[in-house]
Amino acid sequence: RCGAVRCGAVRCMRGAARAGAFVTRAAAAVRGRGRGGRARARRSSGAMARDDAPSVLVPMAHGSEEMEVVIIADVLRRAGARVTIASVEDDGLVCSCSRGVKIVADASLAEASASTYDCVVLPGGMPGAKRLADDARVMAIVEAQLQSERGITAAMCASPGVILAPRGWLNGVASTAHPAFVKDLPSDASAQGRVVVDGRVITSRGPGTAIEFALALVEALFGKDKAMEVAGPMVLPPREKAALVANEWTLES
């Protein structure tokens, strides 16, 4: 015996040959297969998700809203989605967010963009939203997502007004944004909604609506039952009974 502690069915490796075989298999798993393998490997290290689970890209920059980035990724991972937080910055994976909180991305955008995604989510925060808007790679990804037949495009806080609206991507689409950026939307008809869903475009207002926003994404990707399942253990406060605006989403509706 090698003297290593054993726990349940987990036993220490015996012999160099078995250890070598284990390392070989692990390396093969990390490399992944086919297009986007490297991005998949990074995702799997951050969440227990099936290989065929819906995939989500969350671009992040210096100045992104940290609560939104974390809540979006956390809630979607609770549902079982394969979430990749991708830094658009050239100085590494660590982004200093809007309140100075530092978040380590799962991958660089260069790595993550090798894959396609079921959902692309744009967090808000300033100047993070502006940095995302100024990144041609992010804009190409979002445009392709909007043009796809099945992909979901989501944005919250400043991003609907700073990223989507100026490019005409919200024309004719019910949407909302942070109160400071409602003026940039093509229409304010649904601006008071906490989460607004119009087809494959989902928008929301700010850090205080981030959990609802993320649950709307869970519902869009997995269905209502999964959204209810994920919401239960989080002990969300009951929603105040109030009239809903056009296209407003609620977990109960």
Q: Please give the positions annotated as active site.
A: 157
Residue 167's nearest CA partner among 192, 189, 190, 145 is 145
End-to-end Cα distance, the chain: 59
Length of the chain: 253
- Among 51, 69, 49, which Cα is nearest to 59's? 69
From the list 203, 220, 113, the residue with the least C-alpha distance to 162 is 203
Q: Rounded to 5 degrees, what angle do the CA atoms 247, 218, 61 make?
A: 90
Q: How far apart are CA 213 and CA 203, in angstroms?
A: 7
Place of tokens 């850090």: 207
Q: In the chain, count of helices (H) and strands (E)? A: 9, 9
Residues contacting 92, CB < 8 A, separation 6+: none
Do 54 and 42 meet the contact criterion of CB atoms below 8 Å apart?
no
Instruction: In whole angstroms, give the CA distance from residue 224 to residue 210.
Output: 17
User: Does the CA dihedral 182-188-245-120 come out positive or negative?
Assistant: negative
Tokens linked to 141: 């990804």
**Which of 140, 139, 142, 59 is closest to 95 using CA atoms?**
59
